[in-house]
Structure 1
Amino acid sequence: MKNSWICLTGANLEGLDAFAVDVEINLKRGLPRFTITGLAAQSIRESSERVRIALENSGYSCPLQNILVNLAPAGRKKEGTLLDLSIACGILALTEQIFPSGKLQKTLFLGELGLDGSLKPLKGVLPILSGISSEKYDTAIVPFENREEAALLRKFEVYGISHLRELEEVLENRRTPESKSKIQIQEVNVSKNLELYKDQMVAFRAIEIAAAGWHHILLSGPPGIGKSLLARITGFLLPTPEENEALDILKIRSAISPLKELIAQRPYRAPHHTTSDITLVGGSRDLRMGEVTLANRGILFLDELAEYKSGILQALREPMEEGNITVSRISGTIVYPANFLLVAATNPCPCGFYGSKEVPCACNLQKIKKYQSTYSGPFRDRIDLEVEIFPAQEKERKRILISLEESRKKFKKQQPFNGKGIKEVDFTLTDNLEENT
């Protein structure tokens, strides 16, 4: 007698936190119906039609019975299209159209089905498999395009399939698992040798210290002095990501879109000053990630700092201090990582030339104070280094050749990098300036 009930395992994602979903399927006689329960979002409820048509177009049949799919735990909302494959596999096993060899209970099924039975690439595969316990599950079946990111994790045997018909080969032990993948580390793209003016050298020394100790830094100076260039250089001076850091970087990228290549580079995010608080720190109805999370383990560059709304800057206090951000809306609460290095740049006044020896400032003291008040207060208290860059007179300006590779080697000998700041770093702003002059 055929079984009328089966339970397989899929998974879902809340922010970057994964949880296993028990996909219970029951068949009984009655009017043909396909019902999905268990706090399923609209995208999951729509899978009933996708699965039925995909089965028929793949050469299988969908039983003309009352099909009930229950997703447990029922108290957690499930979204997305990741559960299509587990539902289809359960129906095929119940109706004895495939004959699994005992692998079902320890296997995770992740996949969205097309109407022709093909599996579409998914976002979020890497954070899902990272967050699921390997004690309960040792095998993962994923879309073919996601096989490499899934195979980064040693705890799973990974099988990548491109069509529903290939499921039989995997479940009947007629297919070998994917080879383990490896992350490629890539450095920030910047010239290894750089020419700076002598009047930029103090600022350069400051960004060396910021990169060595993970200290937030504010660069102040007139337009064209090179603040944006110095911010880019800071990203290059950061140490090469360790394996766990590289995995964190890729997990965030995977949650946004399927990974096409396993290249990990420290992120460099530079949101425009007109950006909203939701874009910067995260939120909206679906609790999406903000720029502070996309910059995790890398640089968050805020140019024209005084042009940002004060409320937006004050929202950065939590991630600057804690290394994470709590996003709360009526739909729930999610804690995202936000361990970034802030590099901010600003003009000293509205016209930009306060303190310049060449161009007279057109602002009065009241305008200057009002301009700088935007980023004052608790936000500014969390900035560790502030540097003012004043251009020398044209006849006194001198170019100096800098080796960025030597600068990186210099602070690699310092205390181990931990991404949270170092109490003491053996640098001073004027250290070795005479050697470069």
Structure 2
Amino acid sequence: MTTSVTDDAATSLLRFATAGSVDDGKSTLVGRLLHDSKSVLTDQLEALAHASRDRGTGAPDLALLTDGLRAEREQGITIDVAYRYFATPRRRFILADTPGHVQYTRNMVTGASTAQTAVVLVDARNGVVEQTRRHLAVAALLRVPYVLLAVNKMDLVGYAEAVFAAIAAEFTAYARGLGVCEVTAVPVSALAGDNVVTPSAHMDWYGGPTVLEYLETVPVVTDPAAEPARFPVQYTIRPQTTTHPDYRGYAGRITSGVLRVGDVVTVLPSGHTSTITAIDTLGHSADIAWAPQSITLHLADDLDVSRGDLITPAASAPQITQDVEATVCHLADQPLLPGARVLLKHITRTVRALVKDIPSRLTLEDLSQHPNPGRLNANDIGRVTLRTAEPLALDPYATSRHTGSFLLIDPADGTTLAGGVMDTR
């Protein structure tokens, strides 16, 4: 069966994450967005009304649409990353509503790791605070290409244009210092619905998009050929059947790019080269496959290929190295120290590694690098150098968010210690 990239003519999909400090109104904004865009089913509305009555609120509490855990409702804060799927006639969305509390910054890293846009909320009464800067730093670290600043609770500052302008200017300047150039600012009141889905009647001085209009029109890169092809092997298939006694396929999901029958590819880290002879997808043969399809590849040569190997076009193969220079966001309560022995998980491959040095830590206040901090504590962002026990095929994160990122794991109990991105070379 012959296919082409253009056969996958699905409606464009936007993955976005919300972030902001505690009580800035993220869950209310998300609830308002879902409610006013008519993305909430009737039974969900009935459950919302019932839960709101139980909490003693007159009007439906829209924050309960995303704060689904019992502990979240009792405390009135978001703890877990809440994923919501909805659609409008113009676009499909996957939304990650992330916690605002400093303790749960690690959850924001999870939610933003696959986001194409970050919606950062700021309370109009408080302006840009430390957690705002931390969330912006995480978005910059993860190279989220577009950021929407939602200045919320404008109704509590009399819908004052000057308040909005001052916050937008400070936020934008800080974002540009981090390398985030695409910033759009919208004044909103999530509780009242101003500029969330419908334009506000209280802010005639604002002529920009609503939050939904922004989300429906922000550019989304949908060309699977935009990045070099990368195929991490998850499993080697050898069915040992009488009908196919010599069957050998390599199963996995293409993380980026396009693969075609006839492509000359390299298996990393071994460096062996072969040619793609067949591609199986969903029980059918195909001449071409692209990210994020799950497929089985067949190669012309009988190579030693196993889980953790990376198959990539020979002409665009990433660097093989055991010396890793990267920027990490430390997520665990225990500090990360030079000399620590860790596990490094890179796509489907996990190897032992040593933390050789921590050259610097980012200072959020002025974006300076504090040299030789000696450790990284929870939520710190800093540069590290690592030595791995086995070679890895690593891209700079600027080239690929998939093969340029990794996790550091505690070998004793499996706790995730840090999320890291390869520095540009």
TM-score, with length taken from structure 1: 0.25
Write 1 or 2 for the structure with the bigger share of helix: 1
The structure with more radius of gyration: 1
Tell me: higher relative CO, structure 1 or 2? Use CA pairs within 8 A at least 6 residues apart: 1
Write 1 or 2 for the structure with the bigger share of strand: 2
